Amino acid sequence: MHIATATPAWAMLAYLVAGICFILALRGLSSPASSRKGNRYGMAGMTLAVGTTLITHMNVGIIEIAIAIGIGAVIGLVTARRIAMTDMPQLVAAFHSLVGLAAVLVAAAAYLNPQAFGIVDAAGQIFTVSRIEMGLGIAIGAITFSGSVIAFLKLNGNMSGTPIMLPGRHLINIGTLAAIIGLIGYFLTDQSPWIFWTVTALSFVIGFLLIIPIGGADMPVVVSMLNSYSGWAAAAMGFTLQNTAMIITGALVGSSGAILSYIMCKAMNRSFISVIAGGFGAAPEAGSGGAAKVDRPWKRGSADDAAFLMSQAEQVIIVPGYGMAVAQAQHALREMGDLLKKEGVRVKYAIHPVAGRMPGHMNVLLAEANVPYDEVFELEDINGEFAQTDVAFVIGANDVTNPAAKTDKSSPIYGMPVLDVEKAKTVLFVKRSMGGVGYAGVDNDVFYMDQTMMLLADAKKMVDDICKALQH
């Protein structure tokens, strides 16, 4: 029985409604205030799309499909309940890898049994257009899979966040990509197995090569770009499966991920083309990384000192970073903000576009802690206020507050817009110790400035102690 069958009119209408739900989901996710509604639209659209597909393919191993869905649902539920918010970036990267692998498996299944997919002519040859779809799907899917695996390993700490520079990497990448494109072109005239599997193997390799040169500071853009790749891979396989819902969903994910990556690249002063090429924001001669300069003079403060300084301030800007996420300090931070507001202090939160390990990471954590949306500001909306701010309270954010990005051309983060915390009258910097550096491996001059007071402790414990001091 062929998988590719004529789609009934009611199914086309259902896919259209599902597509509208996906568009409404993207619109809802554009703002923290409407994000929950956006998630509900996305869930409704996916349920409708999957349900319609199953109903229109009742004669294609429905029992096996139901078992597979059940197993996947159990794994998804268990993972969602157990995963910590700090591990969400790794989870997103892992999900992207699964989408890419699914595209590879679908393309391989279509190649090995094209009759079941209804993509062969009378002579038993795969249609030319299907070969194009298959070649693009397996190439993009394999790149997404291997690239996402490397991103996962870097985010999870199994692999160093430092850029890994292979000698002649640009020539290797260009040569590999040219070989993939050339072989896909040759595949249109010859469907020999060696061509198909060589494209597959080279695509896995280039995904690996594109991601390993990218440093930790740029990882949020990588996650966004891989999200785009996974969408395009799904869209390509949607054509092979002749499934309208997959084409719509994949195109939406691919285009929205690409747009988000472009916006983030502009926010980081990076080239969008260099994101796709791999290795952006990284230079082998970068000399600012390495161990922290602990021999420089710095001032240490206590929770009582911080509580006093902030309670006497007119405005406090809180800058959260990945260290806050690791310590799960967002709830204590919101309590501190509430206590300061009772003292008549204006409290605002400054969010850098790439704070954390994925786009919107800090927004999600603050929303989880019920921080009011109108107190949360993006970099471009609040950066001008630091010069008129009494206290900048930095909790676990290093690279996104590092002025070296503006002054040190040898720094791997040079050119990236940062939050101007050093312009505040007082900077309170929460950090575990002076011996560590940020994810990009760059020391921060703010630590050693006259107006900076270092609060060395676990972020949650420090904020809890500050809350106790404010209450007394």
Determine contact, residues 468/303, Cβ cutoff 8 Å: yes
Residue 115 has a pLDDT of 85
Determine, yes or no, domain membership for 195.
yes
Determine, yes or no, domain membership for 294.
no
Q: Domain containing 416: what range?
A: 303-471
Using DSSP, state whether 348 is helix, strand or coil. Answer: strand
Residue 59 has a pLDDT of 64
DSSP secondary-structure letter at 319? E
Together in a domain, 111 and 57: no
**Dihedral through CA 339, CA 340, CA 342, CA 347, nearest 10?**
-120
Which residues, 6 or more positions from 381, have their beta carbon under 8 angstroms from its beta carbon? none
* Residue whose C-alpha is closest to residue 178's, from 167, 188, 170: 170
Q: Which residue's structure tokens are 């300061």? A: 340
Give yes or no for residue 371 having a pLDDT over 60. yes
In this prediction the pTM is: 0.74
pLDDT category at 58 given cuts 50, 70, 90 is: low
Among the three residues 82, 104, 125, which one is the final residue of a domain in this structure?
82
Residue 325 has a pLDDT of 84
pLDDT tens sequence across 112-156 = 988 878 888 888 788 888 898 889 889 999 999 998 898 888 877
Together in a domain, 246 and 333: no
Residue 275 has a pLDDT of 61
CA distance 356 to 8: 46
pLDDT tens sequence across 421-448 = 999 999 999 988 877 666 556 788 899 9
CA distance 348 to 373: 10
Together in a domain, 309 and 372: yes
CA distance 333 to 466: 10
Together in a domain, 177 and 326: no
> Chain centroid to CA 139: how far?
21
Determine contact, residues 397/355, Cβ cutoff 8 Å: yes
For residue 149 the two structure tokens come to 């695996």
Which residues, 6 or more positions from 337, have their beta carbon under 8 angstroms from its beta carbon? 318, 347, 349, 371, 375
Residue 437 has a pLDDT of 64
Determine contact, residues 38/29, Cβ cutoff 8 Å: yes
Beta bridge partners of 73: none
Residue 276 has a pLDDT of 60
Together in a domain, 354 and 387: yes
pLDDT tens sequence across 157-196 = 777 766 777 787 778 888 999 999 999 999 999 889 999 9
Quick one: what percent of the chain has pLDDT higher than 90?
31
Higher pLDDT, 367 or 306: 306
Q: Which of 87, 305, 390, 399 is catalytic?
A: 399
Determine, yes or no, domain membership for 232.
yes
Determine, yes or no, domain membership for 285.
no
Of these ranges, 64-78, 264-278, 280-294, 296-310, the one predicted with the greatest mean pLDDT is: 296-310
Residue 279 has a pLDDT of 52
Together in a domain, 372 and 309: yes
Determine contact, residues 322/397, Cβ cutoff 8 Å: yes
Quick one: what percent of the chain has pLDDT higher than 70?
88
Beta bridge partners of 452: 427
Q: Which residue's structure tokens are 């929205």? A: 256
Among the three residues 49, 82, 115, which one is the final residue of a domain in this structure?
82
Mean pLDDT of 90-103: 86
Determine, yes or no, domain membership for 145.
yes
Q: What string of DSSP letters covers 151-171?
A: HHHHHTTSS-SS----TTHHH
Give yes or no for residue 408 having a pLDDT over 60. yes
Higher pLDDT, 311 or 360: 311
Q: Which residue's structure tokens are 């970068």? A: 286
pLDDT tens sequence across 299-310 = 999 999 999 999
pLDDT category at 291 given cuts 50, 70, 90 is: very low
Q: Is 399 a catalytic residue?
A: yes
Give yes or no for residue 294 having a pLDDT over 60. no
Range in 59-73, 100-114, 388-402 with the lowest mean pLDDT: 59-73
Residue 1 has a pLDDT of 39
Together in a domain, 127 and 192: yes
Together in a domain, 321 and 410: yes
Q: Which residue's structure tokens are 């931070």? A: 333
Work out how many domains the chain is built from and give that number.
Answer: 3
Determine, yes or no, domain membership for 288.
no
Together in a domain, 129 and 258: yes
Among the three residues 59, 82, 105, which one is the final residue of a domain in this structure?
82
Q: Residue 448 carries which side chain, given as an amino acid letter?
A: Y
CA distance 356 to 326: 10
Together in a domain, 242 and 347: no
> Chain centroid to CA 330: how far?
20
Together in a domain, 352 and 445: yes
Together in a domain, 143 and 205: yes
pLDDT category at 281 given cuts 50, 70, 90 is: very low
Determine contact, residues 265/419, Cβ cutoff 8 Å: no
Determine, yes or no, domain membership for 462.
yes
Residue 347 has a pLDDT of 95
Determine, yes or no, domain membership for 290.
no
For residue 42 the two structure tokens come to 């996305």
- List the CATH number of the domain containing 419: 3.40.50.1220
For residue 282 the two structure tokens come to 């990284």
